[in-house]
Structure 1
């Protein structure tokens, strides 16, 4: 059979029956699932928008260390559970290892993984909203809050920050959805799922310890009070405690072997940090701000003018007052959001970062990016009634048209303000210098001849600050790009007559030593030989992260071999006839170079200890 339609033009169009039935079925499905389709379209559009922004960023700071560690370690328990400046992030290190092994310093893989998980977080928020409020069109508003919130964008431009945050952005809404199912049905499997999602969050970020507190608060507020919440769901809370206890024991055990970087700040630092984090960062970004950023190299932190901060605080106070006036338990929902930001976002930073960075740490949006799923949930809780909720409002609402108009205008202003803030932030992204340096070094290493000896030096400070210690060295950063054998020799280079070093553009150049020459005072300019032994003093008071490279000038009548002793390490060197030089890395703590059994016809001349530099 076929279906015939006759347009106004008089033409007759015959549609085959199978196509007509399929179209009708698709239309009915779309009608039943219109909210889901609209939500998926919003998620897709938001991810495309954020991908276009993230592609302009590049690796920075901790990212270089994460790639280097991933390339020099197997996928072991020790690697995954290493404490990184107080952070315990096995999940993040797993992603870093996979990304680096696919392509070291491949921004497409690295950013793509984080963006894919952020998309999963958006779907998790959608699931949470559908479970809590039902599949009604109104849930698109809080979903849109999550999708366009400016605070979600910077963590996509800093890989190390994203590796932490996306785990919590997924875990929080999924744990809430599973726990809400448990509260409705009483089924234990949902409580198990909630506990597993808490564990998932903890494996990405220590701040996941606050998730059970969120679940407890939601249960107490919307399911009968604290006493009933505790007594009525003992099994659920027991599983949460088991997860926290197991995680805590592992965290403490691993912390015992890690450097202690935590400390309490002084009062002025703590107060300043809380003002910056809550008053300037969270209060403005939750309304679509900050609209102005203090820009760094491929990065930015909030820098809203004081009038904007005051206006944001007044607006938030008005929102809290109005929603609390009409919506039952709205004040408790707002308190839940504030409590989460204080406990999960402020307290860990107060212990681990503020004593080092001061109040300035509070201007960094990455510390509150994990709270955005909860912002979306609270936005729904203070406005929308729950399915089956009796008397959700304290008093009659104004006319429906007025409420819809005000809420629609507020959402439109938020979206517009967010687009402005994100556009300004995106204008600060771009790291052509770092990208060019890495890609130049990648090409140079690919062309390096077998047996090339590459000596170490610090990477340029505009690529990575020297504060990262050993992971500021070319042997670590650029060694991640090298084959395993070459990487090993870069980290422990042998003595050589000719060596190479990376210049500040990432090119391999012949090595030289920058230092104070030690010249013998003898007539022939040779270090004196006593009993067949030459001793050259070294100043071991100077220490360098890259080590001390020594250049020994020599003259030899014929090809020969000598043995250089520094401390208790011996290095055999083959000398070529004529004038030449030998490069050798000094043994830490050595106060002299000793050459035993110096062959006849060999003169050890000027000796220069110092740092490796490209030869002019």
Structure 2
């Protein structure tokens, strides 16, 4: 049996009936899922775009410490619950541990893992929009806002920031979707699912404590007011509060043994920070800005001109007034967004960072990146009725064609502005110096025997500032790529007649010591032997520095075994016949090297305490 169709050209096409039925079924399936398919295409396109941007970046700052700690540590409770400068992020540390174990400083693994989680965040936003507004095509607009918003991109190119942010970007929309199901059905399993997502957000960022407050605000605005929301859904609130309190107790317990990095800023710092974060960074980026970045070193922060800031604030005020004029509860939705930004994004930074770094931290978009899913939701709430909402508008809207035209133009301007802002930001990315240094060191370590002696020094400042203290040392940063045996020797190198050190390019070179040389003034240029003991003085300006390396010159007629004492530490060394030198780590506070029972024919000469450097 066949079916005949007659196209406009007059030609008659005969299609087998099974094929015609299949084509009809496919057509009906596509029509029924058109919104979903378009959304998935948009998500895939945005991920490809962001992957191209992220590939231009590389590890920076905290990333190096995260990788080094992961390679040094077992997957233990202490490792996962360590407080990192006020950050409590067990989920982030778990992801860092797994990623580092795949390949230390493997940017493909690190960036790929973040992009996969960001894809889950996009799917979570899509689920949230479908649950709140239904499967109407209009939900593609707020989804597109999430996908192209410039405020989310800088957090993706900094691994440490992304390890915090992606958890909340998933948790926030998933918690809202589950809670919304609970509000509609009354089923407790949906509330328990929302509680799980609150916990998931907390595992990545302590900002997750604000999620129950956000859920309460949504319930009060769209489901009967605050009193009704509290009374009717008390078991759900109990579940959410239990999660937050239990996690908060663990956070406090772990904080007691961590360095105190919190503190309140002075008034001028606080007001300056709020202006930078809300008045400049947030106000411009939610409109597709900031259109100008203060950038350098594979990074950038928002730096919009004052005229742009003023225009953005005026535009936002107009949008709030117009949407509140037509849409019921639009003002409450805008207030909810502002409240979340203040509670979740501003307050933690005010406590933990502003007093240390000043108001300038308000220009950093990563502190706002977790709010992007909420921005997408609020964009929908102030324009679209939620599913089942009665009388969503205060007054009749203008003609549909006019509304569609205005909103389409606004969305187009937002997307265009966002593409410009992100393209400008991407132009500042690039870490060739860091990447070459790490990969050169990786290759050097791969061909270095595990019994090699590699002495410590600071990595170049353009790779990692020395403010990271011990994690600015080659033994920690580059040691992450070494075998466990070699890594242990790098962190506690023995005394040796020959040693190696990394140069500024990441190559291993013979070691030397840069410091103040002390030489004996005796005729034979040897430190005198008194009662069979030699005492070699150490320069007072260098001997108290942690990590100081000492080079001690000697001459020996034959091979000889000696024991060098520095403070309470004894070091056994086998000297080779002829002229040579011994390298050994200084003991802080020791003012001399003592050699007892000095073998005959052994002379100890000049000594140089200082820092390990490559031999010229």
Give TM-score, length-normalised by structure 1. Answer: 0.98
Q: C-alpha separation between the residues in 1 aligned to 2:22 and 2:483?
A: 56
CA-to-partner distance for each residue in 1:108-159, whole Å, 9 max, x for gaps? Answer: 0000000110010000000000000000011000000000000111111100
CA distance in 2, matches of 1:553, 1:247: 58
Residue 138 of structure 1 aligns with which residue? Answer: 138
**Whole-Å separation in 2 of the counterparts to 1:377 and 1:155:** 20
CA distance in 2, matches of 1:150, 1:137: 23
Secondary structure of the 2:536 match is strand
Tell me if structure 1 keeps the 8 A contact 2:289–2:421. yes
Matches within 5 A, 1:81-230: 81-230=81-230
Contact 2:542 2:610 in 1 (8 A): no
Residue 314 of structure 1 corresponds to 314
Measured in 2, the distance between the counterparts of 1:408 and 1:293 equals: 27
Aligned equivalents of 1:54 and 1:168: distance in 2?
20
Question: Is 1:237 paired with 2:233?
Answer: no
Query: How far apart are 1:15 and its partner, in Å?
Result: 4.2
1:389 and 2:420 aligned = no
Find the aligned partners of 1:85 and 1:315 in 2 and give their Cα distance: 37
Find the aligned partners of 2:23 and 2:156 in 1 and give their Cα distance. 40
Does the Cα contact within 8 Å between 1:473 and 1:546 map onto a contact in 2?
no
| Residue equivalent to 1:535 | 535
Mean Cα deviation higher: 394-403 or 538-547: 538-547
- The structure-2 alpha-carbon separation of the partners of 1:100 and 1:14, relative to structure 1 and needing over 3 Å to count, comes to farther
2:50 corresponding residue in structure 1:
50
TM-aligned CA distance change 1:303 to 1:543, over 3 Å: farther
Superposed CA deviations along residues 395-439 of structure 1, whole A, max 9, x for unmatched, are 111111111111111100000000000000000011011000000
Indicate how the Cα distance of structure 1 residues 264 and 31 shifts in structure 2: closer, same or farther if over 3 A, else same: same
Shift of 1:563: 0.4
Question: Aligned in 2, Cα 1:470/1:544: closer, same or farther, shift over 3 Å?
Answer: farther
Q: Deviations over 1:416-469 (max 9, x none)?
A: 000000000000011011000000000111111342110000000011000000
Q: Aligned residue for 1:526?
A: 526
Correspondence for 2:371: 371
In the other structure, the counterpart of 2:356 is 356
SS of corresponding position for 1:553:
strand
The reply to whether residue 608 of structure 1 matches residue 608 of structure 2 is yes
Question: Equivalent residue of 1:463, what SS?
Answer: coil
Distance 1:28 1:397 in 2: 33
1:540 deviates by 5.8
CA displacement at 1:546 relative to structure 2? 6.2
Return the alpha-carbon distance in structure 1 between the equivalents of residues 499 and 32 of structure 2: 71
Question: 1:404: which partner in 2?
Answer: 404
Task: Encode CA deviations 1:149-208: one digit per residue, 9 max, x unaligned.
Answer: 001111111000001000000000000000000000000000000000000000000000
Query: How far 1:3 moved relative to its partner?
Result: 4.3
Give per-residue Cα distances to partners, 1:55-97, cap 9 Å, x unaligned.
0100000000001001111111111110000000011111111
Structure 1 residue matching 2:530: 3-state secondary structure: coil
Instruction: Please report the TM-score for the alignment, with normalisation by the length of structure 2.
Output: 0.98
Q: How far off its partner does 1:9 sit?
A: 6.3
**Contact (CA 8 Å) 1:470, 1:546: kept in 2 or not?**
no
Q: Secondary structure at the match of 1:153?
A: helix
Correspondence for 2:421: 421
User: In 1, Cα distance between the equivalents of 2:384 and 2:392?
Assistant: 8
Moved more, 397-406 or 570-579: 397-406
- Matched residues in 2 for 1:338 and 1:268: separation? 21
Q: Does 1:251 align with 2:251?
A: yes
Q: 1:542 to 1:254 in 2, by over 3 A?
A: farther
State how far apart, in whole Å, the 2-side matches of 1:543 and 1:555 are.
24
Please list, as runs of the form range in 1=range in 2, the aligned pairs for 1:497-512 lying within 5 A after superposition: 497-512=497-512
Q: 1:533 to 1:226 in 2, by over 3 A?
A: same
Residues 517/325 of structure 1: CA separation in 2 closer, same or farther (3 Å cut) = same
1:19-78 CA distance string (max 9 Å, x none): 433322111011011111111111011111100110010000000000100111111111
Equivalent residue for 1:554? Answer: 554
Q: Deviations over 1:453-489 (max 9, x none)?
A: 1000000001100000000000011001101100000
Choose 539-548 or 377-386, whichever is displaced more: 539-548
Cα RMSD, aligned residues only: 1.3
Residue aligning to 1:495 = 495
Q: For 1:349, what is the secondary structure of its paired residue?
A: helix
Q: Classify the secondary structure of the residue corresponding to 1:401.
A: helix
Return 547-556 or 529-538, whichever deviates more. 529-538
> What is residue 431 of structure 1 aligned with on the other side?
431
Deviation at 1:591, TM superposition (A): 2.1
Q: Relative to structure 2, which stretch is displaced further, 564-573 or 190-199?
A: 564-573
Q: Is the 8 A contact 1:540 1:589 kept in 2?
A: no
| Inter-CA distance 382–613: structure 2 relative to 1 (3 Å threshold) | same
- Structure 2: tracts of 5 or more residues without a match: none
Of 277-286 and 8-17, the range deviating more from structure 2: 8-17
Structure 1 residue 511 displacement after superposition? 0.3
Contact conserved, 2:536 with 2:593, CA < 8 A, in 1? yes
State the match for 2:514 in structure 1: 514
Secondary structure of the structure 2 residue equivalent to 1:448:
coil
Quote the Cα distance in structure 1 between the aligned partners of 2:433 and 2:557. 48
Contact 2:499 2:510 in 1 (8 A): yes
In structure 1, C-alpha distance between the alignment counterparts of 2:524 and 2:3, rounded to whole Å? 108
